[in-house]
Structure formats: C-alpha cells, structure tokens
C-alpha cells in the first residue's frame, strides 16, 4: 500500500511479493559488484547502515518509549540480523549468488519442518537433502567449501531471525522493531567493515550505490512485504517466497554472469519444491 498525494495505491499481493524478491536479489547482485572495491564486510556495513537510516526516518520510532524488554529483544533481533547479512555476504563472495541463497534457504526450511510428525514431511527432508548433495563440493573444482558452509550458517541465523521476529512482533510494532533492530545490526557489523580497512575506499559514487543497495535490499522489499501480508495468509506468503533461490540464480546469471551447472539448477528446484511442500502442508496458517 503506497500513499501518494493523499491517495492509496494498493499493489496486489502476488506482484508485491514477486517485486520484493526481485528487489532483494537485484540489490544483492549490485552489492556483489562492490566486493572487489569494498569487500564483503565493507559492503555489508554500507548496506545495513543506510538501511537503518532509511527505516528509522520512515518509521520515526520514539526510542524513549521502549521498555527494557523491548530493548533486549531488539538487541538480539538486530545482532542476529547483522550476523546473517555479514555471513551471507562473505558466502556469496566465494560462491554464486543463486547457490548461496539456496543453501541459506535451508535454515527457514529446517525451521518449518522442526517438530513435524507428518509422514509426508519426510519427502521434503529428502528433497532438501538431495538439493544440498547436488551443490556439495565433491570435487576440487566444484563449489567452494567455506563459501557453502558460510551460506548454511547464514541460514541458521535466518531461522533465528524468524523466531525472534515472531516474538518481538508481539511486543511492539513491526516497523519499529525492524528500525531499532537495524540500529543494533549496524552496531554489530560496522566494526568488521572498519577493522578490515575496506571502507577507506569510499567515495561519493560508492555512497550513492550503497543507498541504492539499501533501498533495494531492505526499504523497498520490506514495504512491499508488509502490504502483501495484509492480503495473504502467512502460508501463502511463505509459498511465494520459496521462489527466491530461483530468482537469485537468475539475478546471478543476468547481472554477474554466474553460470550454474544442470546439477546446480536441479538442486535449486529440489530446495524450492521442498520449501513449497513444507510450507503448504505446515500445521500453522
């Protein structure tokens, strides 16, 4: 839902989610192009820092009204958010964007399957396992092992981020939570960018690109997703989000010239299918 000249323009839910995914992966592709200049930690610092400024300006959170419990949850939420982004950028520095997102997606997928006792969920576990096996660096010229491990670790942070997000949403408005969380994420990630010395190369052009990455990766998709969630159940929203690894692979192909093997494309299909199935047959709406 977008306000313009006192009128409300409602973007339908499905296009909104798809535009959000395209925006996030387009932002990731632009960010990866900055790695040779700013490195992964420098780029992540720029993206998270500008995202914090943009979201805080949009939601205008009154920090004086937060209680101790809200501050503590925002600290945990933001630290997890910062770690997730830093580790993911370190991962896609070493492996293609599409494979990085696919491996990262195992975190939310494992969370969706956790505690399930349905027989059909074994199918999604097997499919996800096949997907990971197809990506695994079985040969020396295959996928970078450290990059793959970092992507899986980012998936673990993503799962924790989802759990914390669910808890914090019961304590405060989601917009305020993300805005304050981004401040803590910046505090977590900025020392890595400063210590690496990668931010020393900053100039006016790179700052503008950093703003663009922040808008594409955080501000725009967050706004679109909030509008979509008003129109969709969380189950249908999760199913739509499951196409993200495929969009990431296409973004890597189009913008970064990252070509994947047939086995790697099959891996992405397996993980997407597992994610859709696990979400569709989940117990909670």
User: Looking at residue 241, what is its pLDDT?
Assistant: 82
Q: Is 133 part of a structural domain of the chain?
A: yes
Residue 61 has pLDDT above 90, yes or no: no
Confidence of residue 145 (pLDDT cuts 50, 70, 90): confident
- In sequence order, what are the beta bridge partners of 2? 9
Q: Is 8 part of a structural domain of the chain?
A: no
Q: Is 4 part of a structural domain of the chain?
A: no
Q: Is 7 part of a structural domain of the chain?
A: no
User: Looking at residue 1, what is its pLDDT?
Assistant: 42
Q: In this predicted model, what pLDDT tens digit does every residue of 225-237 receive, in sequence order? A: 877 777 777 667 7
- When pLDDT is averaged across residues 251-269 and rounded to a whole number, the result is 89
Residue 166: name the closest of 103, 232, 234 by CA. Answer: 234
Ramachandran bin of 259, using left for φ above 0, alpha for ψ from -120 to 50, beta for the remaining angles: beta
The distance of Cα 129 from the centroid of its chain, to the nearest Å, equals 21
User: Looking at residue 139, what is its pLDDT?
Assistant: 55
Confidence of residue 136 (pLDDT cuts 50, 70, 90): low
Q: What percent of the chain has pLDDT over 90?
A: 38
User: Looking at residue 2, what is its pLDDT?
Assistant: 46
- When pLDDT is averaged across residues 98-104 and rounded to a whole number, the result is 91
Q: In this predicted model, what pLDDT tens digit does every residue of 201-226 receive, in sequence order? A: 888 899 999 999 999 988 788 778 87
Residue 93 has pLDDT above 50, yes or no: yes
CA-CA distance, 154 to 160, in Å (whole number)?
Answer: 10
Q: In this predicted model, what pLDDT tens digit does every residue of 113-135 receive, in sequence order? A: 776 667 777 787 888 888 877 77
Q: Is 165 part of a structural domain of the chain?
A: yes
Q: Is 1 part of a structural domain of the chain?
A: no
Residue 52 has pLDDT above 80, yes or no: yes
Total domains in the fold of the chain = 1
Q: Is 265 part of a structural domain of the chain?
A: yes
Residue 76: name the closest of 170, 154, 143, 163 by CA. Answer: 163
Confidence of residue 3 (pLDDT cuts 50, 70, 90): very low
Q: Which domain holds residue 87?
A: 14-280
Find out whether 78 and 182 touch, Cβ atoms under 8 Å: yes
- When pLDDT is averaged across residues 170-187 and rounded to a whole number, the result is 88
Q: Is 285 part of a structural domain of the chain?
A: no
DSSP string, 10-77: PPPHHHHHHHHHHHHHHHHHHHHHHHHHHHHHHHHHHHHHHHHHHHHHHH---GGG--HHHHHHHHHH
- In sequence order, what are the beta bridge partners of 4? 7
Model pTM score:
0.86
Find out whether 105 and 132 touch, Cβ atoms under 8 Å: no
CA-CA distance, 285 to 279, in Å (whole number)?
Answer: 9
């Amino acid at each position: 839902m977008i306000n313009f000249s006192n009128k409300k323009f409602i973007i339908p839910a499905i296009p909104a989610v798809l535009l959000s995914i395209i925006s996030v992966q387009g932002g990731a592709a632009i960010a990866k192009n900055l790695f040779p200049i700013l490195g992964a930690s420098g780029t992540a610092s720029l993206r998270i820092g500008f995202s914090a400024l943009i979201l805080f300006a949009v939601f205008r959170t009154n920090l004086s009204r937060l209680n101790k419990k809200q501050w503590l949850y925002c600290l945990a939420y933001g630290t997890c958010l910062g770690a997730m982004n830093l580790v993911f950028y370190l991962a896609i520095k070493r492996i293609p964007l599409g494979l990085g997102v696919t491996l990262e997606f195992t975190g939310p997928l494992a969370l969706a399957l956790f505690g399930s006792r349905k027989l059909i969920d074994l199918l999604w576990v097997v499919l996800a396992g096949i997907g990971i096996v197809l990506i695994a660096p079985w040969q020396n010229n295959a996928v970078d092992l450290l990059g793959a491990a970092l992507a899986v670790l980012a998936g673990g942070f993503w799962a924790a981020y989802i759990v914390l997000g669910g808890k914090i949403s019961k304590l405060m408005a989601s917009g305020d939570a993300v805005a304050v969380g981004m401040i803590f994420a910046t505090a977590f990630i900025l020392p890595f960018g400063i210590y690496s010395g990668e931010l020393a190369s900053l100039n006016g052009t790179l700052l503008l690109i950093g703003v663009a990455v922040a808008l594409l990766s955080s501000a725009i998709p967050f706004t679109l997703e909030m509008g979509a969630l008003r129109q969709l159940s969380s189950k249908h929203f999760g199913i739509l989000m499951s196409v993200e690894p495929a969009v990431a692979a296409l973004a890597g192909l189009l913008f970064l010239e990252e070509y994947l093997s047939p086995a790697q494309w099959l891996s992405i299909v397996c993980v997407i299918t597992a994610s859709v199935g696990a979400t569709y047959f989940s117990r909670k709406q």
